[in-house]
Structure 1
């Protein structure tokens, strides 16, 4: 992390709670994880008759789920930072009744213009 803020990278985007991201990177990152999970489920369904291949795709699905859960939390933390809220509110994404509402709000709620207490947005130039 530099004085201007985090240097955008894929590792920072998916696995770091520091900094801020806008609506589009948040949505596209969620879409990425959704497509990965959907692909794994499609492969599992396509291989229902072959137990060995099904077991391998199921293992791949479990591993991708274990990787995507903390990543989704980190994305939500950065998105919450962008709108000026603290990161622990990201836990609301894991409450079944609230998660769709929170997800839609995070996709639609505009972020703070300019730097806030969490720094500058990753797509904004530093000072």
Structure 2
């Protein structure tokens, strides 16, 4: 985990190490939902322009891949905070289970004491 006070945006979105409390986890998801929503609105606004639509579609695909990787990293850190191993993040890819896992991770408080994943 990055040292206290040195946690950066790349660490937050793209590193699986460390722990992450509930609020930053939720805000990280909210950020990616906002990015996807913006790109989708640009796609709908450019339905009549084939070149612009193709460009926004490409941006949607790239942002979707980046956001998926980032959300997995956020989830791994959130699982670490509650004392579970990171590979359980695979539950986000099970369609019926995914919303339940997300809500659980947003509501379940982290362990206040240090664990094997950090303080």
| TM-score bracket for this pair, using the shorter chain length | over 0.9
Unpaired segments ≥5 residues, structure 2: none
> For the residues of structure 1 that align with 2:63 and 2:76, how far apart are their CA atoms?
20
Aligned twin of 1:78 = 77
What is the count of residue pairs matched by the alignment?
119
Residues 93 and 37 (structure 1), Cα distance of their counterparts in 2 relative to 1, 3 Å cut: same
> For the residues of structure 2 that align with 1:109 and 1:48, how far apart are their CA atoms?
42
| Structure 1 residues 39-118: aligned runs within 5 Å | 39-118=38-117
Runs (4+) of structure 1 exceeding 3 A deviation are 4-7
Deviation at 1:7, TM superposition (A): 3.2
Aligned twin of 2:18 = 19
Give the aligned CA root-mean-square deviation in angstroms: 1.4
Contact 1:47–1:54 under 8 Å retained in 2: yes
Unpaired segments ≥5 residues, structure 1: 121-127
> For the residues of structure 1 that align with 2:46 and 2:93, how far apart are their CA atoms?
30
Which digits, 9 at most, give the CA deviation of each residue in 1:12-59, with x for residues without a partner? 000000000000000000000000001101110111111100000001
Deviation at 1:117, TM superposition (A): 1.3
Deviation at 1:6, TM superposition (A): 8.8
Contact 1:77–1:88 under 8 Å retained in 2: yes
TM-score when normalising by structure 2: 0.95
SS at match of 2:43: helix
Aligned twin of 2:31 = 32
